[in-house]
Amino acid sequence: MSLLPSSVEQIVGQQGDLTGFLVQITWLGFFVLYMFYGQRLQVKIMLREIEGYLFRLKLIRDQGRSIAISSIKEIGKPTDDPTVRVDRILEHVDIPPVDLDPSGIIRRLEHIIDVREFRFKDEVRLMVPGADETQINNLANVLEVALDLNQIYKFVRHLYLMGKKTSSFYVILQLQMILPQVMKESEAFASALRASTLGQPIGDGVGALVAARLMYGREERMISQDVVVGEVPIEGRMAYVLKAKGPGGNVGKPGEAVRQILEEREGKIERIIVIDAAQKWEGEKAGEVIEGTGVAIGGPGVDKYKVEEIATKYKVPINAILIKESIADIVSTMRKEVLNSVEDVLVRIRRIVLETTKEGDHIIIAGIGNTMGIAQ
C-alpha cells in the first residue's frame, strides 16, 4: 500500500517521464550534431596535435642548421659568413633518372649520386679551404643530416597545410598516423649530428669495424673510390677484406671494389661474405647477429646491383652477416651492444669459412657502412 497520496505519485511519475524525455532529446541532439560537425571537431583536434609535432620538427631542423653553420665556422674559421651557402645546400634536391626505359638506369643513377657527392665535398672545401680530407668528409656528413632534417620538416609542413586548407579528414588522418615514426627518425638524425661533428663511429659503421679488425696491421691498397682492401689469411684461406677508407665519413663504392677483385682473379673466388648493419624489428635486441643469403648493402641499390651482377656472372655464392640495430642506433654514436657484437661476427666469419671453403681458396669479406671514426 502506497504511503503517498495518488496526486503526489502522479506528479513524481510525470517528472520522471519528463526527465527521461529530456535526456533522450539531449542525446539525440548530440547525435545529430556529431553527424554534421563531429568530423570537423575531430579534424581540429588532430590539427592541434600535428601542430605540436610540427613545432618540435622545426626546432630539430633549426638545431641541425645551426650545428652545421657553427661546425664550419669552428673548423674552417672562414672570413665570409657561410650561412647563405649552407642554406643553399639545405635546399638541394636530387632528381632521379627517368625510369620509363629501365635499360641503363643503374649507371645513370650512379652518375647522379657521384655528382651529388662531389658537389657536397666541393662546397665544403670552398667554405673550409684549410680542412683535411677527414674533416671534409665529416662536415659533408653533417650537411647531409641537416639537409634530411630540413626535407622531413618541409614534407610534414606541406601535408599539414594542405590538410588544413582543404579540411580533408583523410589527409590529416594519414599524417597523424605516420608522425610518431617520422618523429622517431628525426630525433635519430638529430642525435647523429653530434657524432658527425666529433667524428665518432656510428652504428652504421659496424661492418667497417669488423673489416678493420681483420685488416689490422696488414698492408692495404686502394681498390676503388674511397675503398681499401687488404689480404688477410684466415684458416689457410686468403681473404680479400675491404672497407671504406677512414677515418672520415665515407661509405665508398664497395660494389665496384668487389667487381674489380673478381675481374682481377678471373672469377676464382669461392665465396663472398658481406657484413652490414640491418634495421631491427621492435622487440629485437640491438647488436643481435643473424645470417642470411644475398648482398647486404643498403642505399640506392647501385653497389648491391654491381655485386649481384658480378657474382651471378662467375657463380660465386654470397653470405650475409647482419647486425640488428634501430634507426637511432644506425645513425648515432655506436652503442656498446653493437660494439660487442663484433666478436660474434668474427666467430661466425671463421665458421662460414671453415664450413663452405677449403684450404687454399680465396674469398672476399666486405665490411659495409660509414667508416667515420674507424681507421684502417
Domains of the chain: 43-198 (no CATH), 203-367 (3.40.50.1470)
Question: Which of the pair, 29 or 90, is modelled with greater confidence?
Answer: 90
Q: C-alpha distances in angstroms, 272 versus 44, 310, 338, 365, 367?
A: 56, 11, 23, 6, 11
Beta bridge pairs of residue 1: none
**pTM listed for this prediction:** 0.83
Residues 6+ apart with CB under 8 A from 138: 196, 197, 199, 248, 249, 372
Average pLDDT of the residues in 143-154:
91
pLDDT digits (tens, 9 = 90+) for 203-225: 899 999 999 999 988 888 989 88
The mean-pLDDT minimum among 15-19, 196-200, 217-221, 284-288 falls in: 15-19
The phi and psi torsions of 293 (rounded to 5 degrees) equal -120, 130
Average pLDDT of the residues in 187-209:
86
Average pLDDT of the residues in 115-137:
85
**Average pLDDT of the chain, as a whole number:** 86
Question: Which of the pair, 27 or 84, is modelled with greater confidence?
Answer: 84
Instruction: Give the per-residue pLDDT at 321.
Output: 94
Residues 6+ apart with CB under 8 A from 33: none
Q: Which three cell numbers stand for residue 191?
A: 642525435
Q: Is the pLDDT of residue 339 over 80?
A: yes
Question: Which of the pair, 274 or 190, is modelled with greater confidence?
Answer: 274
Average pLDDT of the residues in 343-366:
93
The mean-pLDDT minimum among 9-23, 75-89, 218-232, 342-356 falls in: 9-23
Instruction: Give the per-residue pLDDT at 38.
Output: 57
Instruction: Give the per-residue pLDDT at 7.
Output: 57
Average pLDDT of the residues in 143-158:
91
pLDDT digits (tens, 9 = 90+) for 307-337: 999 999 999 999 999 999 988 888 888 889 9
The dihedral of CA 332, 87, 175, 31: what is its sign? positive
Distance CA 309, CA 298 (A): 16
- Of the pLDDT bands very low, low, confident and very high (cuts 50, 70, 90), residue 121 is confident
Q: Cβ(244)–Cβ(141) under 8 Å?
A: no
pLDDT digits (tens, 9 = 90+) for 8-49: 455 545 555 667 667 677 776 666 655 655 567 777 888 888
Instruction: Give the per-residue pLDDT at 110.
Output: 87
Q: Is the pLDDT of residue 270 over 50?
A: yes
Amino acid at 37: Y
Q: For a pLDDT cut of 90, what percent of the chain falls above it?
A: 35
Residues 6+ apart with CB under 8 A from 310: 258, 259, 262, 263, 316
Helix (H) or strand (E) holding 331: helix 327-331
Distance CA 371, CA 245 (A): 7
Eight-class DSSP state of 370: -
Instruction: Give the per-residue pLDDT at 21.
Output: 63
Average pLDDT of the residues in 221-248:
90
Q: Cβ(271)–Cβ(357) under 8 Å?
A: yes
- Of the pLDDT bands very low, low, confident and very high (cuts 50, 70, 90), residue 4 is very low
Q: C-alpha distances in angstroms, 27 versus 21, 36, 39, 40?
A: 10, 14, 18, 19
